[in-house]
Amino acid sequence: MSTYADDPRFPGPDPYAPLKDLPSFSLSSTDIRDGEQLAEEQTGAKSISPQLSWSDLPEGTKSLAVTCFDPDAPTASGFWHWATFNIPVDVTELPTGAGKEDLEGVPGATTLVGDSGQRGFYGAEPPAGHGPHRYLFAVHAVDVEKLDVPADATPTVLGFNLYFHALGRAIVWGWYENK
């Protein structure tokens, strides 16, 4: 089975290739089957964030961040669908639909405004006829309890901070196409 980085159906680059190699850990979802088409609930029409659960974090993990990125968007910089951080290390799961503006049920977490202009998870919605797009849901193990990222920063600023503070990264991905 191909991975998100080497599947020939998708034209965009592997967005994690230029970053430092990080160890992975266990990440699963009851809503996403790795490498398969996303359900209608995870598309732009409904924008219900998927359930994600993780375990076996790298030693030294003090908080977590969750992002969703589409590297196949017709831009030079992809498209951020979700970016949330300062999730306490004792949280081991985000239930389906938790990706609202305030990261429902997770005190202390901050969710940024994505490229859709919305704060919170924005579902898959590639342009009609542009082909299939990948949606990379990444959980990042972070070496500090609180990243000093302003609530009005972009997901790119979060990504820059994660470069210096991530101890591990696990990815589950799906794809979607508007024909």
Of 139, 158, 173, the residue nearest 57 (C-alpha): 139
Q: Which of 51-65, 93-107, 138-152 has the lowest mean pLDDT?
A: 93-107
Q: Give this prediction's pTM.
A: 0.97
Domain ranges of the chain: 26-176
Query: pLDDT digits over 12-54, tens only?
Result: 999 999 999 999 999 999 999 999 999 999 999 899 999 999 9
Residue 1 has pLDDT above 60, yes or no: no
Residue 2 has pLDDT above 70, yes or no: no
DSSP character at residue 127: P
What fold, for 26-176?
Phosphatidylethanolamine-binding Protein (3.90.280)
Of 125, 159, 138, 35, the residue nearest 94 (C-alpha): 138
